[in-house]
Structure 1
Amino acid sequence: MRQRTVNIAAIILWSCFVSQQVSSLASPRGRKPPTKGKKYSKTSENKRQGYLQRSSGIKTKRKKPPKWEKEGDELFFLHQDKNKGTVDDSESSFDDSKFSNPRELLKARFDAKDSVLAKDPDKKGPETSKKEDKKGNPASKFMWGAIPTGPILSPKLNKLFNQPTPIQSKAFSLLSKSGATSSNVVIASPTGSGKTLAFLLPLIANTKRDAFGRILIITPTMDLAYQIQRVVDQLWDPINNYSGLYVVKPPQTSGGDDDDDYVIDSDQVQSWTISEMKMCKSPIIAGTPKSLMQLLTYCKDKKINLLGDLGTVVLDEADRLLQTEHVARGDGLGGDSPALQALGFMKKMGVTFDVRTVGGAGGSSFGASGKKRYDSPLSRARLVCASATVGRTLRRQMMEITNASSIDKAADLVVADDRTGKDEKRRRNSLLPASIQHMYSLYDGEGQVIDGLYTTMRDLPPAPTLIFPGKTGVANMVEELQARGLEDVNTLRDNMHFSDEEDGLDESDAQQTWEQSPIYVVGEKFGRGLDIPNVKYVFLAAPPTSPAAYAHLAGRTGRGGNEGTAITMVQGMKDTKRLISLSEILGIDLSSAVKDSSANEMDTKKEKEDGDLKSAKTATTKSNVDASKATNDLNKLSVVELKEILRERSLKVSGRKAELIERLQA
Structure 2
Amino acid sequence: MPEEVLWTVPETGMPTFAQLGLPEPVLRALEAEGFTEPFPIQAASLPETLTGRDLLGRGQTGSGKTLAFGLALLSRLAGGRAQARRPRGLVLVPTRELAQQVVDALTPFARALNLKTTAVVGGMSFNRQVDALQRGVDLLVATPGRLTDHTNQGTCDLSEVAVTAIDEADRMADMGFLPQVRAILDLTASDGQRLLFSATLDGDVATLVSRYLHDPVTRAVASAAAPVETMDHHVLLVDNATKPRVVTEVAARDGRTILFVRTKHGVDRLVKNLRRDGVAAGALHGGKAQNARNRAIAEFKEGRTPVLVATDVAARGIHVDDVSLVVHVDPPTDPKDYLHRAGRTARGGDSGTVVTLVTPGERRDVDQLTRQAGVRPTLTEVHPGDAALVRITGARAPSGVPVPEPERPVQAPRSGARRSRGQSRQGGQGGQRGQGGRAGGRPRQRNTAA
* TM norm structure 1: 0.51
CA contact (8 A) 1:474 1:491 kept: yes
Cα 1:150/1:601, change in 2 over 3 Å: closer
Superposed, 1:157-306 pairs within 5 Å as 157-158=30-31, 159-178=33-52, 182=53, 184-208=54-78, 211-212=81-82, 213-237=87-111, 244-250=116-122, 273-279=129-135, 281-299=136-154, 306=157
Paired letter, 2:246: G
Paired letter, 1:454: T
Whole-angstrom CA distance in 2 between matches of 1:479 and 1:341: 37
Cα 1:244/1:435, change in 2 over 3 Å: farther
Larger Rg: 1 or 2? Answer: 1
Q: Render the CA deviation track for 1:347-369: whole Å, top value 9, x for unaligned.
A: 3x4x3xxxxxxxxxxxxxxx5xx
CA contact (8 A) 2:150 2:156 kept: no
Whole-angstrom CA distance in 2 between matches of 1:198 and 1:521: 30
1:577 alignment partner, SS class: helix
Query: What is the aligned partner in structure 2 of residue 332 from structure 1?
Result: none
1:411 to 178, 193, 216: 216
1:450 to 244, 249, 253: 244
Superposed, 1:29-178 pairs within 5 Å as 144=17, 146-158=19-31, 159-178=33-52
1:380 alignment partner, SS class: coil
Whole-angstrom CA distance in 2 between matches of 1:457 and 1:313: 41
> Relative to structure 2, which stretch is displaced further, 188-197 or 147-156?
147-156
CA contact (8 A) 1:505 1:535 kept: no
1:341 to 172, 180, 183: 180
Cα 1:433/1:209, change in 2 over 3 Å: farther
Query: What is the aligned partner in structure 2 of residue 581 from structure 1?
Result: 368
| Unaligned ranges ≥5, structure 1 | 1-63, 70-123, 132-138, 254-268, 325-336, 352-366, 368-378, 420-426, 510-515, 606-611, 622-635, 640-666
Cα 1:222/1:382, change in 2 over 3 Å: same
CA contact (8 A) 1:439 1:592 kept: yes
Whole-angstrom CA distance in 2 between matches of 1:437 and 1:578: 20
CA contact (8 A) 1:468 1:540 kept: yes
Matched, 1:401 2:256: no
Query: What is the aligned partner in structure 2 of residue 527 from structure 1?
Result: 315
**How many percent of aligned residue pairs carry the same amino acid?**
20
| Unaligned ranges ≥5, structure 2 | 286-290, 391-396, 407-450
Whole-angstrom CA distance in 2 between matches of 1:191 and 1:463: 21
Cα 1:291/1:593, change in 2 over 3 Å: farther
Paired letter, 1:433: V
CA offset at residue 382 of structure 1?
2.3
Higher relative contact order, structure no. (Cα contacts within 8 Å, ≥ 6 residues apart): 2
CA offset at residue 225 of structure 1?
0.3
Query: What is the aligned partner in structure 2 of residue 549 from structure 1?
Result: 337
Whole-angstrom CA distance in 2 between matches of 1:544 and 1:452: 18
CA offset at residue 481 of structure 1?
1.2
| Larger strand proportion of the pair | 2
| Larger helix proportion of the pair | 1
Whole-angstrom CA distance in 2 between matches of 1:503 and 1:451: 25
Query: What is the aligned partner in structure 2 of residue 464 from structure 1?
Result: 256
Superposed, 1:386-535 pairs within 5 Å as 386-391=197-202, 393-402=203-212, 411-417=216-222, 419=223, 428-429=225-226, 432-445=227-240, 449-457=243-251, 462-471=254-263, 473-487=266-280, 489=282, 491=284, 496=294, 505=301, 518-535=306-323
Cα 1:444/1:190, change in 2 over 3 Å: same
Whole-angstrom CA distance in 2 between matches of 1:396 and 1:232: 28
2:255 alignment partner, SS class: coil
Whole-angstrom CA distance in 1 between matches of 2:165 and 2:104: 17
Whole-angstrom CA distance in 1 between matches of 2:385 and 2:91: 54
CA contact (8 A) 1:505 1:534 kept: no
1:496 alignment partner, SS class: helix
Cα 1:539/1:601, change in 2 over 3 Å: closer
* TM norm structure 2: 0.73
CA offset at residue 548 of structure 1?
0.9
User: Alignment length, in residue pairs?
Assistant: 384
CA offset at residue 219 of structure 1?
1.2
Query: What is the aligned partner in structure 2 of residue 380 from structure 1?
Result: 191
CA contact (8 A) 2:97 2:317 kept: no
